[in-house]
Amino acid sequence: MTFIKRIIPTLLVIILISACATPLKTKLKDFKKEGAYRIAFYNVENLFDLEDAPDKADEEFTPTGKKEWTADRYQKKLDNLAKVFQEMGYPPIIGVCEVENAKVLEDLINKTSLKDYGYKYAHQESPDFRGIDVGMLYMSSLFSVEATNITRIDFPKEIVEDYTTRDILHVKGTFRGKEKMHFFINHWPSRRGGLEASEPKRVYVATQLRKETMKIFKEDPKANIIITGDFNDEPDNNSLLYTLNAKPTSEKITASELYNCSSALDKLGKGTYNYRGNWNMLDQFIVSSALLDGSCSLSATDAAIFSEEWLNYNDKKYGPTPSRTYGGPNYYGGFSDHYPVYLDLRVR
């Protein structure tokens, strides 16, 4: 009896722990059951490896640099990002920006909780002076890549001289073995120097993206196009609303046009980036009309912001704000200075 009395509490503890523990794979969103597939985008804020690239301005993100970017801090950053994607339900398509190179994408999908889900990545090195690029993670069981291309942004001298920025990444493939899809991942020039002064750079990038989408529409008026990224402009700014001609989804849907699934959020005053108390809707989703008018077997919803409380810190002046990895030279160990965004493609 004494032995039984001793063993029973231990067994109860084991049972309780087992009941509360949720295997990672049960977090995977049951897409088929729910009839929707999630597409995500995240500006992951300075995901650098530990090496000093001689031709890039990445010196501060090294173990001996100003930010003391150590292996432990790097791994914590990877684990933080993986946690975000886990809680989003492991989206089968994830666009990212502010990644240094292919190595950090390899580490993200192979050295974190993402490793069990068959993610691969699409990436090409861009000429950005800091060395940050865009990329796309995808579940190879749901998406097969047919082609990966870039649009190189070479600014005319009348807009800006000696300035390099991120390429636009275009990934073409087949989703679910059925739908032909085009994904464009973006990270447009920042607002450094002021919104108006920097606007011509983003308008120029929008012009180049518009040209690429028009080429696709010329070949296939019902093409399925999803454009996402950190545009450093909002849905009603010139670059997006007029140059790219990405209309609000509230307007009449016309064939071979683009529609901004983030416009409704912007009108509500929502945003993904808190600039001194002002929420800017910088991270967005734009889709072609085929994903809204019934031409495709999948239908795009309006975009949403993933803004769980655990992603925040409480700024004394500006309130809940995305918890970043660094604030200047100070290490905080957070996630990113942006919220991630997503939209769901519902099966018709």
Quick one: pLDDT band at residue 329, thresholds 50, 70, 90? confident
Q: Give the model's pLDDT for residue 240.
A: 98
Q: Residue 18 falls within a domain, yes or no?
A: no
Residue 4's pLDDT is 43
Span 263-294, pLDDT tens digits: 999 999 999 999 999 999 999 999 999 999 99
> What is the average per-residue pLDDT within 322-346?
96
pTM over 0.95: no
Q: What is the mean pLDDT of residues 165-191?
A: 98
pLDDT at residue 28, rounded to an integer: 65
Please report whether residue 128 resides in a domain: yes
Establish if 17 belongs to a structural domain: no
Q: How many domains does the chain fold into?
A: 1
In a domain, 26, yes or no: no
107 domain-assigned: yes
**Is residue 52 situated within a structural domain?**
yes
At residue 9, the pLDDT reads 44
Question: Is residue 21 in some structural domain?
Answer: no
pLDDT in tens, 215-232: 999 999 999 999 999 999
What range does the domain containing 153 cover? Answer: 38-347
CATH code of residue 227: 3.60.10.10
So what's the pLDDT on residue 23? 38
Quick check: 33 pLDDT over 80? no
340 assigned to some structural domain: yes
φ/ψ of residue 323, rounded to 5: -85, 110
